[in-house]
Structure 1
């Protein structure tokens, strides 16, 4: 740690090791004493304000503890809230139990009208790197909310149908049915249903305005970044 001044972590994906790994990094940063900025391993929801169901609730609560430890130690930070990863959600049109885009029918959680935010992982990295030595992001949450990537499931499916020149049968899954999926499906699906429930039904990526005292929006700060839009990202599956 004494050889660097900015630490960006992408470790600790597994809940069983995440807190230990991040705590070890925090201790090393404190010992080094020369770190100008720490980006802990987050890159998802803003966990400080998130309302989400189990089993995802316990997993993401670990990230809250990591944030608390960083603040307690007085370590300069930037927390990155990058919302839904394109590689997972767009590659299957928001389907939980699929691995590819369906050919005939698509399951839509809720009424399909709730707006969510999709971000390409390369863009997440680009924004994080730009924010690393930017005083405007010091001790702030960097929200990645590119305007062209805010859309509902209904809009996403319609966009795909237009590109593919096809029509998919839309099967709407009520919130009650999603709750049953969380409680009854086998691992790992309950976690992903809980994540999807928070986004596609409760709108946890879009149902709040950014508090400028604690957060900033990446695409507004770095207008030079030509981020990958949802429309462009879908082209790779044609």
Structure 2
């Protein structure tokens, strides 16, 4: 049986690289990455491009803003995974239009990697609402196109969440910042495992037109549990400083725009509880039910 061809758009980005590498590692997949001429010529992208190429990822020349090249690339594959960043979220409709014209795409994974904020969290942070308004335009466009889709909510990236023991930002030294009570459950997932789960979901007919929540059982923890585990693994005790929900909202209002997303995410994860939704709403499924046999890196292994 011929391998399934998967194209990753945004493969040189943070999570895109991990998904592309997971695609290349899957024996049943032929992995492709859309690489524009501009990206191919950037010295700062050489290392990741070499890594992808060495792993077996094949490059297709194309550009999100060049419809002809995008259609030509999509005609060579059957699944497309978008990992574009915030600035390009609304432009994913260009991928949908090109996929409709190509006529070969049997599944589209939009760039939704992360978590789904609750209405409470969106309301608390006011001007963040437009971000989710942008994201919400993509799924209706996909549904209208008739192209089967899968949304993957990967929850907290381990590389961002573990250095600060839940607090996004610099690694902890002696003091940990605890948000609220510290007893709200969050989910922390290794980026390589996110790639593995994403590829499985892309190939899985059970995940068609569903939102898949990544919830490795050993990686569902409260911040207090995370800190206690780190203390056990590292043989040290951390001081704790508590930050309230009100303080996080104030930080968001006063922080430099380049980092104001940090208090928002800390609130969403550890106060809003937005990375661990149970019971899951209709149309949402858990990785625990779909892929119980996937070997993943536990928090204890990652600390």
Give your verdict on TM over 0.5: yes
Following TM superposition, where does structure 1 have runs of at least 4 consecutive aligned residues deviating by more than 6 angstroms? none
State TM-score, norm by structure 1. 0.89
1:197 and 1:184, CA in 2 relative to 1: closer, same or farther beyond 3 A?
Answer: same
- Over the residues paired in the alignment, what is the CA RMSD in angstroms? 1.8
1:212-233: CA deviation from partner (whole Å, max 9, x where unpaired): x412211321222101111111
Hey, what's the Cα distance between the residues in 2 that align with 1:88 and 1:58? 24
Q: CA shift at 1:48, angstroms?
A: 8.4
Is the Cα–Cα contact under 8 Å of residues 55 and 190 in structure 1 kept in the other structure?
A: no
Ranges in structure 1 where 5+ consecutive residues have no aligned partner: none
Does 2:241 align with 1:174?
no
Distance across 1 between alignment mates of 2:146 and 2:272? 33
* CA shift in 2, pair 1:32/1:133, >3 Å: same
For residues 44-103 of structure 1, what are the alpha-carbon distances to aligned partners after superposition, in whole Å with 9 as ceiling and x for unaligned? 11368784224543223322111121112121100101111111011221223x322x12
Matches of 1:50 and 1:127, distance apart in 2 = 28
Instruction: Give the paired residue count.
Output: 228
CA distance in 1, matches of 2:269, 2:186: 6
Pair 1:34 & 2:104 matched: yes
Identify the match of residue 145 of structure 1 among 215, 221, 229.
Answer: 215
Task: Summarize the Cα distance change of 1:218–1:36 in structure 2 as closer, same or farther, 3 Å threshold.
Answer: same
1:9 — aligned with what? 82
Alignment-derived partner of residue 99 in structure 1: 170
Residue 106 of structure 1 contacts residue 169 of structure 1 at CA under 8 Å; is this kept in 2?
Answer: yes
Q: Is the 8 A contact 2:118 2:272 kept in 1?
A: no
Q: 1:163 aligns with which of 230, 233, 240?
A: 233
Gaps of 5+ in 2: 1-73
8 Å Cα contact 1:29-1:35 kept in structure 2: yes
Q: Residue 207 and residue 36 in structure 1: after superposition, are their counterparts in 2 closer, same or farther (change >3 A)?
A: closer
Alignment of 1:1-238 (within 5 A): 1-11=74-84, 13-15=85-87, 17-20=88-91, 22-46=92-116, 51-52=121-122, 53-96=125-168, 98-100=169-171, 102-211=172-281, 213-234=282-303
Structure 1 Cα separation of the partners of residues 106 and 184 of structure 2: 38
Cα distance in structure 2, aligned partners of 1:39 and 1:76: 9
Q: Is the 8 A contact 2:121 2:267 kept in 1?
A: no
Quick check: 2:179–2:271 contact (8 Å CA) kept in 1? Answer: yes
Per the TM alignment, residue 196 of structure 1 is displaced from its structure 2 partner at its CA by 1.4
Which gives a bigger RCO, structure 1 or 2 (Cα 8 Å, sep 6+)?
1
Alpha-carbon distance between aligned partners in 2 of 1:126 and 1:79, rounded to the nearest angstrom: 14
CA distance in 2, matches of 1:48, 1:2: 37
